[in-house]
C-alpha cells in the first residue's frame, strides 16, 4: 500500500510538472512583460502578461466592469456589450473582435467573475460560452477561451497583475498568423488598460465587493 501511494504521488508530481508551461519572454518594456508558450492541446500559443500599474484595486476593477469601454483598451475590439449581470462581481458579455483581412471577424460570449480572495489579492476568471447566443452571419464564434488574472496589491497605490489566457478563435485563421499578433495585442491591451484605469472617472472609484 505504501508503495502504491508513493507511486501515485510521484505520478501526480510528474503530471503537475509536465503541465507547467515553458514560458518564453517576447517583450519587456515599460513594466509590461509578454510571454508565450506552446501547449500540448492546441497549435495556438498560450499567453502570459506580467504588468505593474499605479492604481487602487477598486480603480482597476471599476474600469474592468465597464464592459462598454473595452474597445478603448482591448486590442482590436470593435464592440462589447453587457448581456447579463449575474451578481455585482459576475457578468456575461458579448464582444466582437476585428481580424485583419482576408480573415473574418470573431465574436465571443464571456462569463466573467471577480473575487477578492485576500485583502491584497484579487482573482478574475473569464471563460467563453460559445453556445449562449445563436451564431451571426459573417462572424465566426470563438470556440473556447480561458483567462485568469492574479492581481496583487504591492503598495498604497500599486498593483501587480499576472494574466494568462489560452484560446481557440475558431474558423480558418492559420496558427502562424495568430501567433504573429500574440505579442503586439497583449502589450497594447495592458498599456491601454493602465491609461484607462487612471482616467479621472475612476481615480476615486469604490467597488462594493472590494475591501
The tens digit of pLDDT for each residue in 80-104 reads 999 999 999 999 999 999 987 778 8
69, with CB counted inside 10 A (0-12, 13-18, 19+), is middle
Please name the residue that has the C-alpha cell 502562424: 176
> Is residue 25 pLDDT above 70, yes or no?
yes
Structural domain spans, the chain = 26-203
Question: Is the CATH number of domain 26-203 3.30.300.30?
Answer: no
| Alpha carbon distance 122, 151 (integer Å) | 5
Cis peptide before 196 (omega within 30 of 0): no
| Per-residue pLDDT band at 18 (split at 50, 70, 90) | very low
DSSP letter assigned to residue 103 = S
Rounded to a whole number of angstroms, the distance between the first and last alpha carbons of the chain is 48
72, with CB counted inside 10 A (0-12, 13-18, 19+), is middle
What pTM, to 2 d.p., does this model score?
A: 0.86
| Alpha carbon distance 52, 175 (integer Å) | 30
Amino acid at each position: 500500500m505504501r508503495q502504491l501511494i508513493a507511486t501515485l504521488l510521484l505520478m501526480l508530481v510528474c503530471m503537475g510538472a509536465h503541465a507547467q508551461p515553458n514560458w518564453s519572454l517576447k517583450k519587456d518594456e515599460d513594466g509590461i512583460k509578454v510571454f508565450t508558450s506552446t501547449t500540448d492541446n492546441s497549435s495556438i500559443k498560450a499567453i502570459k502578461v506580467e504588468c505593474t500599474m499605479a492604481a487602487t484595486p477598486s480603480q482597476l476593477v471599476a474600469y474592468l466592469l465597464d464592459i462598454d469601454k473595452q474597445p478603448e483598451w482591448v486590442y482590436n475590439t470593435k464592440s462589447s456589450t453587457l448581456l447579463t449581470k449575474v451578481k455585482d462581481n459576475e457578468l456575461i458579455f458579448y464582444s466582437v473582435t476585428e481580424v485583419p483581412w482576408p480573415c473574418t471577424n470573431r465574436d465571443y460570449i464571456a462569463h466573467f467573475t471577480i473575487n477578492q480572495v485576500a485583502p491584497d489579492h484579487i482573482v478574475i476568471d473569464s471563460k467563453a460560452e460559445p453556445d449562449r447566443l445563436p451564431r451571426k452571419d459573417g462572424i465566426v464564434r470563438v470556440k473556447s477561451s480561458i483567462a485568469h488574472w492574479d492581481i496583487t496589491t504591492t503598495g498604497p497605490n500599486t498593483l501587480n497583475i499576472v494574466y494568462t489566457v489560452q484560446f481557440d478563435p475558431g474558423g480558418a485563421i492559420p496558427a502562424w498568423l495568430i501567433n504573429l499578433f500574440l505579442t503586439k495585442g497583449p502589450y497594447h491591451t495592458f498599456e491601454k488598460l493602465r491609461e484607462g484605469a487612471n482616467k479621472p472617472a475612476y481615480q476615486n472609484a469604490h467597488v462594493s465587493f472590494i475591501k
